[in-house]
Amino acid sequence: MSDQNNHQKDAGLILRVENLSKSFGGVKAVVSVSFDLYEGQLLGVIGPNGSGKTTLVNLITGFLKPDQGKIVYKGKEINGWAPYRIARIGIARTFQMIRPFAELPSFKNLIIPLYSPRVKALSGGKYGDLDAVAKDYLEEVGFERESAVTYKSAGSLPHGYLKRLELAKCLALRADLIILDELFSGLSIAELASIVPIIEKLISEGKTVIMIEHRLRELFRIADRVVVLNYGSVIAEGIPSEVMERPEVRKAYLGSE
């Protein structure tokens, strides 16, 4: 905690993204993006397809290196760090195309993050009964205790359970900042109704969440703030109900006609 910023206005600041840019060849995927995120907030990142949302996630989590700009997490500059180091300081992410360890049983998928040095340090150097801990996390995201899905190989899980497993992995890593890339996509209304409270609970426990989403209605119900990207740039930022009223946002979403 020694490197925490003293400025009053920075109290509770967990992530600061400053002038972040990334191009692929001639395509500018992310253009000078800046935003601040405070502890315990839920930030939505929205924008039309190809607006740079996933590139932004990949930059923050180290899967891509920025061309320009700074990413500061809890006072530490992390731009250019390897993904595993970023995971170890408490930033977890999910992937838009879900990527479980397909041949491992669901609960074993969680043993891998449970073995990470971060979790070991946070739990006082002891691992304990990891199978039981893994099952606790699965229960937290809605797997029934000792149910068949707990032991099934992750590759054979139904879509809804795969999404829950993604969430559980972030929990098992004991991340403070959780970045969910289109978690809601492909979920039924009923599945959404059961997964939204899990996210609300995370927030109430003090976690910070970034959600990349296309399902705006569901997102707006829980987001504190949204950032709107278009062609890689931030075109609007604010509380959800206001942002959607802005003409530039309507234009980006509905087209210029």
Partner 1 sequence: MWEVALIYGFINSVILALTALGFSLTFGISGVSNFAYGAMYIFAGFASWLLLNKLALPFFLSAAIAVILTAGLGAAMYRFVLLRVRGLVISEVIATFGVGLIILELFRYLGFSGFEYTLPVFSDGSLLIGNTYVDYQRIWIVGVGIVLAIGLYLFTHYTKIGLAFRGIAQDEHTALSLGINSDRIAGLSVAFGSGLAAIAAILILPRGTIAVNDGYDVLINAMAVCIIGGLGSSVGVVLASFLIGYAQIMTDILSGPHWKMIISLVAILVILVVKPSGLLGKQKELEERI
Interface residues toward partner 1, by CB under 8 A: 61-63, 82-84, 87-88, 92-93, 95, 99-104, 108, 111-113, 115-118, 169, 173
Under DSSP, the state recorded for 81 is: -
Q: How far is the CB of 163 from partner 1 (least distance, A)?
A: 14
β-pairing, 233-238 vs 91-93, is unpaired
Q: How far apart are CA 188 and CA 206, in angstroms?
A: 27
Q: How far is the CB of 238 from partner 1 (least distance, A)?
A: 30
Which tokens sit at 230? 């278009």
Q: How far is the CB of 179 from partner 1 (least distance, A)?
A: 10
Residues forming a β-bridge with 24: 27
Q: How far apart are CA 209 and CA 104, in angstroms?
A: 27
Decide whether 111 or 222 has the Cβ nearer to partner 1.
111
CA distances from 212 to 60, 107, 256 (A): 13, 26, 23
SS3 state at 99: coil
Q: How far is the CB of 137 from partner 1 (least distance, A)?
A: 13
Q: How far apart are CA 160 and CA 121, in angstroms?
A: 32
β-pairing, 177-181 vs 208-212, is parallel
Decide whether 174 or 225 has the Cβ nearer to partner 1.
174
Decide whether 161 or 226 has the Cβ nearer to partner 1.
161
Q: How far is the CB of 232 from partner 1 (least distance, A)?
A: 22
Decide whether 18 or 136 has the Cβ nearer to partner 1.
136
Decide whether 89 or 203 has the Cβ nearer to partner 1.
89
Which tokens sit at 39? 């502890």
